[in-house]
Structure 1
Amino acid sequence: MDILIPKEGYVYFNGREIFSLKIVTIIIGPITITANAESTASIERVEFCMENEIKHIDYYPSYHWICDEIISSRTTIGVRAYDYGDEMVEKEIPVWMFNRQSLPDALPQPCIVKPSNSWVLFDPDWKTIVICEKDIVLQAVELNLAEDIVSTVFEYSKDKINWIEIGRDDYPGFEGIFLPDPGGMIGDTGWSTRWDLSEMEEGFYYIRATMTDERGQAGSHVKKVYYDPTPPMPRIVKPSFEETVGGIVEFMVMTEAENIVSTKLMLFHEPISSLSSLQGGGAWHNQSTGNLSTNDLPADCPWREGPCCPIAATNALAGQSDSRLYPFGVPNNLAMADMLAAKMGTTNKGTNAFKKVKDMPDYDIYEPDNVGKGINDYLAELGINCSNPTGYTVKVYGIQINSSGGGLHPVLGSSTANFETYSRAIREGQAVILIWMDWKAGADGRWGTPDDTVGGSHAIAGRGCCNNGTQRGQATDHPMSYTDVDGQDHTFGWRDYQGACGNFSVLQGANTWNLIVAAMYVICIKNATWVPLDDGMYIPEEDAWTLTWDTTEVEDGFYTLAIEMEDSNGFIGRESIIVEVNNTPQDEMPPVVEISFPENNSTVSLPHINITGYASDVDSGIALMEYVWEWEGGRANDSKNYEPPHSEIPFKIEIFELKEGWNKITVIATDAAGNYGSDSVTIFYLPQEDITSPITTKEVGNPNWEDGYAVTNYTPIWLNATDDMSGVDYIYYEIWWDSNENGIIDMDEMVT
């Protein structure tokens, strides 16, 4: 640890270094005391003292204190650095300081960033925050990033007159666990408390955050909320996610709310399409992202060693192509990342993406929180958060983690992040940030059990998704794309597990499914374009609403739709779904397969035969060819895929070792629509007794003379053998050597 400013033996005036005296340090006017501190166990806090009295505590680099104490005498400035290993180092510097006036200090400017509205549940006037959870986190930030805040008190009221304290936070520093490579943190940071609403009545409330600084000055922020334990949240019963539909499609929707006044079906309009011609998309859908990378970071960047969260958030937000998302409105990805890093509290150790939510006797429980808080803080400072009618909202999904037994374990069944939510966000043009953690099976060697552990974390910007998934038992695999800290696009697999072990999602890393989706942050602009399609009709006997959509008015492809429900308070809940429209006439005709050789029930005496013929399909084309060879007591098969499908395929199947007796060969063709056709032939292999010798011939190549009698050492000679019955088993040859041409063979030189 070093004190960087002031230096010993220098004169300072109003914070500026003037000249060196080499004897004594003189400070005239206020000055910013600056220190540098590092530790392998990570710095927990740095205290700035005067005459051993603590004047300021800083939890994040660069560590500094604006010293404007009223003084005209000799004094000692001390700096103490504490790490998470309970080690402390201290340095002092004696100075003469002359300062007659304190700097004006603005009142704290708190901003409540959580709870907040989202596009899933909101007040359409964006004046009231609708909350439905019985236990929530309240978080506040100081918009000016003031470092002299000493406490934040959270309160609630029914009338804005009588306030009841919810909780008090006196420690903004990090309290938690540092993760192993690839790094990250998990724990508490910033100003927050929890609010238990389980005993609260439904209705309007006001929440207030009051911040107090080192001088005793206080500032407050108030937000209006409505607690609704049964909000107007629709649940789409049918169709199902990614279902293929056509013609007139009926949507059935249910909800627990009892005060619904209207239900609407809407179609999402992508900005790249025109309103007059709504276009469906293919199975793959990619959106824009930025390309900021670690190579763009300056060498003195204070978060260069832990950059993934600010870079991922920057690349995700840059894809919105909205200049308002940049500091000062100037598109500069590095400036955005710097400001996001400050809001997230990012250091060289990474970003704390989680928040402690429960103190248990033997362990703690954490859930995703703090990255979303940092983004909300960032949007609030730019004036485009959820308070702005054309601003952005932030929604957090993820898993809970418990710290029992000295390790970190995913709480199975706690995940709210899945491919359906991710793909809806991508197709609705929303910015998505994903955080994965290393996932390992526990001592039982089985994945998806309570002793599983999670380790280091990494953040990426979601870029694309493919809605053609592959079902594998209880899991579904989908390809997805993302932008990493190298500024490049990459492709992974996304697998959702749904079974007895709970619901959770993993990504494919290094050829294995060992990365669990720990957190997903979705940033959505509030004025996205939705085209109304139908108003709902309530069916009492079903206790559900039905809505319809005529898909014949759109092209085939994937579409994103949403159901909106409005309750008697005017609040709106929204649920979206992706379906595939296919109104193309279905191919129900199977391919034609014909074996042209040999004839059925033929008898052959040789074990080798070629099966030839052709297959055709004029509608969707042949996507797969296969054959099955059966005999008494056994079978064999082989296949080949065709991409794109072929309308006609001639085939030749070589079988070298027919089995004695009957041999049945079936050729099967499957078209792209799943129809299949086949043809079979049965062959009887009855080998005859072979009483004829093979026929051997000799060919002499060039150069040669005397009709092949004389040759060179490089003249090729072919020894050929044929046999029309049982075939040639092997060829035996001898090369004789008569060195003196006397007619007597040199036996010791013979080659066989």
Structure 2
Amino acid sequence: MSTLDPNIVKVYEPIIDVRVIDLADEKDITHAIFEFSQDGIDWILIDEDYNPSFEGIQFNGDYGNGSTNALGGTGWNAIWEPSALDEGYYFLRATLFDQMFQQGTTEIMMHYDPTPPFLNLDQQPTVNEGILGPLSGIVNFNSTTIDEDPASFQLDYINASRPIINQEGLGDANQENVGTPNTQGTPQTDDDQNNFCGPTSVANALWRLGQKDPALLSSPQGGQYNNATEMAEQLGNDTKTDPVNGTASNNLTDGIRKYLKDRNLDGNYTVKPHIPKVGDRGPWWSDVGNALRQGEAVILLKVKPGSDGLVGTGDDVGHYETGKDAQPYPGGGGEVSVRDPRGPTDKSGKVKVVPKNNGFEGIWFDEDGDGEEDEGEVWYLLAFWEISPNNIYTWNLQRVEYTHLGEDSDPSDGFSIPVETQQIHDGFYLLRGRMIDATGNVGMNRTCVYINNYSPNPVTLETPILEEVTADSITLHWTQNQDEDFNSYQIFISEIEGILGDKIETITDWTTTSFNVTNLESDTIYYITVRVEDYSGLVTDSDQVQAPATIIPESSSLTILLLLIIITSMILIYKKKYA
């Protein structure tokens, strides 16, 4: 949840983890005290923390040889249950004490709203595994909320189709060049495990934002970082990444916030972690895709289970990566691509193709290209982070252009916005619904929608040229389909004009515009069609093209011609001699 005032922290959960970050990184802190107040004068104790050691699940899978990392974190924190409080403004205070009995205090203002303006989008057809649609004609988007004082429901969208979603300009830091390898129990050889994937992935994500906001690249030593590797070194310190244990999830959150705070950018960007509580399910891959479509900097923590076969237990192996791209499929699923800090390398995985494990969604990276799920190719999404602009200045720097669809400011009859989808090109879009209440709290829900009102545009199939027709093959060429919901080209061949015939090939790469048809019969006329199919199953055919399958090669024609000349000459000579 956000607010119209970025200086106020929003709290709505019945149980929250209150944490304080030691920006000075003092080594002699003894304990922390957490308090809250309604007036800033009388303070009520929340809890005291005398133990900054790790709390959570430390992954040690692959006998510690894998990139391990952890769910949880270190540092000073307290669990608070504000559910008994009334909605309103409160102050939170944290005090750190050191061994010399000195203390440092920090305060923030928060607004507690036990009934936040979170909204549910209620429409037909319903959302199917993160994808809504296909939608056509007029669609009424209805919204419900538990908020007691909702004021306005707003709806807008951005393009989320294939040519639009791809985060360019990510950093190219390699985790092997960051931090210190884990040499525990092994000699200093090339197979030492480097566990700095967390800060490296954050640096590669922030590097893209820093191309438009150079303040993100500023170095404490003065000037700016020359590359994402230098930034990752600093983030390794901020996130308390350990050479042996990697990066804990809460430490990654705190480290990103510390990095922004040290550059006075904490008011310009929001760090939103999606971290499950121990025993709860993780976020969905569709959540990652929607964050990427909105242009957020995304870091994700994926895991694979150990010997117990369960995700989210201590024998898992964890690995951080940077989100890069997302392509939805209608009916659910799709592909999510990432930048792996090992290399770094970009790779794309398919989601919704493997069963959930302990409530966590899997992704399959077919790294060897054999089309089979091999060992080590399936990972599961444990957590992810969004780094988002949160004020006018950074919105303009990292601008994502939303198109307004409508607004309903009359809660008396419920919230509903009709949308004429025929005014929008067929394709995939990120639909964002926002509910704003009377106190300025903003709840957001977003989903990917698929709009489909029309059949796909046809391609033009060219008549095969003589040089590309042989005795048993024909090379076809056609124009590229530019529809944003393109699904496949399908090639049909027939021996009867006007009959579609048999489908001999399906091509899902929309940039492919040629195909070689082989194993054809000699002395046969063929009629060929290229069909375009969109994601809803609608199809459009090209004009049928006639192509002969048998063409005498040029070398054979020349041989026959020479033979005829020789025979003719022999006849002339014969006639002359015996005439």
In the superposition, the TM-score normalised over structure 1's length comes to 0.54
Alignment of 1:77-88 (within 5 A): none
Counterpart in 1 of 2:437? 567
Q: Distance in 2 between matches of 1:496 and 1:260?
A: 39
SS of the aligned residue for 1:243 comes to strand
Q: Distance in 1 between matches of 2:366 and 2:119?
A: 35
Counterpart in 2 of 1:308? 197
Residues 312 and 237 of structure 1: CA distance in aligned 2, closer, same or farther (over 3 Å): same
Counterpart in 1 of 2:490? 623
Q: Does 1:126 align with 2:3?
A: no
Task: Provide the aligned length of Structure 1 versus Structure 2.
Answer: 468
Q: Distance in 1 between matches of 2:54 and 2:325?
A: 34
Q: Distance in 1 between matches of 2:357 and 2:302?
A: 22
Q: Does 1:425 align with 2:291?
A: yes
Shift of 1:330: 1.1
Q: Is the 8 A contact 2:303 2:319 kept in 1?
A: yes
Q: Distance in 2 between matches of 1:500 and 1:334?
A: 34
Counterpart in 1 of 2:346? 489
Residues 441 and 638 of structure 1: CA distance in aligned 2, closer, same or farther (over 3 Å): farther
Q: Is the 8 A contact 1:264 1:534 kept in 2?
A: yes
Residues 669 and 338 of structure 1: CA distance in aligned 2, closer, same or farther (over 3 Å): closer
Q: Distance in 2 between matches of 1:238 and 1:492?
A: 30
Q: Is the 8 A contact 1:626 1:640 kept in 2?
A: no
Q: Distance in 1 between matches of 2:384 and 2:53?
A: 24
Q: Is the 8 A contact 1:437 1:454 kept in 2?
A: no
Q: Percent identity?
A: 22
Shift of 1:313: 0.5
Q: Is the 8 A contact 1:326 1:336 kept in 2?
A: yes
Alignment of 1:400-479 (within 5 A): 400-401=277-278, 411=280, 414-415=281-282, 417-439=283-305, 442=308, 455-467=316-328, 469=329, 476-479=333-336
Q: Does 1:640 align with 2:529?
A: no
Alignment of 1:115-154 (within 5 A): 121-154=1-34
Q: Does 1:227 align with 2:97?
A: no
Counterpart in 2 of 1:101? none
Q: Distance in 1 between matches of 2:434 and 2:339?
A: 30
Q: Is the 8 A contact 2:180 2:243 kept in 1?
A: no
Shift of 1:373: 1.6
Q: Distance in 1 between matches of 2:245 and 2:312?
A: 26
Residues 587 and 204 of structure 1: CA distance in aligned 2, closer, same or farther (over 3 Å): same
- Structure 1 unaligned runs (5+)? 1-120, 270-278, 355-368, 403-410, 444-448, 589-614, 628-636, 655-666, 678-752
Q: Distance in 2 between matches of 1:300 and 1:646?
A: 47
Alignment of 1:536-551 (within 5 A): 536=408, 538=410, 543-548=414-419
Which among 128, 135, 145 is matched to residue 255 of structure 1?
A: 145
Which among 323, 327, 344 is matched to residue 218 of structure 2?
A: 327
Which among 168, 172, 175 is matched to residue 294 of structure 1?
A: 175
Deviations 1:525-570 (A, max 9, x none): 11434453321265766x4432436652x55543333222111112
SS of the aligned residue for 2:333 comes to strand
SS of the aligned residue for 2:431 comes to strand
Which among 141, 154, 168 is matched to residue 48 of structure 2?
A: 168
Q: Is the 8 A contact 1:431 1:523 kept in 2?
A: yes
Q: Is the 8 A contact 1:149 1:213 kept in 2?
A: yes
SS of the aligned residue for 2:241 comes to coil
Shift of 1:451: 10
Alignment of 1:521-560 (within 5 A): 521-527=385-391, 528=395, 529=399, 530-536=402-408, 538=410, 543-548=414-419, 552=423, 555-560=425-430
Shift of 1:123: 1.9
Q: Is the 8 A contact 1:282 1:558 kept in 2?
A: no
Q: Distance in 1 between matches of 2:311 and 2:433?
A: 36
Q: Is the 8 A contact 2:198 2:247 kept in 1?
A: no
* Higher percent of residues as helix: 2
Deviations 1:649-674 (A, max 9, x none): 999788xxxxxxxxxxxx99975254
Shift of 1:676: 9.8
Q: Distance in 2 between matches of 1:188 and 1:622?
A: 50
Counterpart in 2 of 1:372? 253
Matched to 2:440, the amino acid is G
Q: Distance in 2 between matches of 1:454 and 1:199?
A: 38
Matched to 2:286, the amino acid is E
- Structure 2 unaligned runs (5+)? 184-191, 368-372, 459-475, 482-487, 495-501, 522-527, 542-579
Cα RMSD for the two superposed structures: 4.3
Q: Distance in 1 between matches of 2:180 and 2:138?
A: 60
Q: Looking at CA atoms only, which structure, 1 or 2, has the larger radius of gyration?
A: 1
SS of the aligned residue for 2:385 comes to strand
Q: Distance in 2 between matches of 1:247 and 1:126?
A: 38
Alignment of 1:587-598 (within 5 A): none
Q: Is the 8 A contact 1:312 1:485 kept in 2?
A: no
* Higher percent of residues as strand: 1
Which among 79, 82, 89 is matched to residue 197 of structure 1?
A: 82
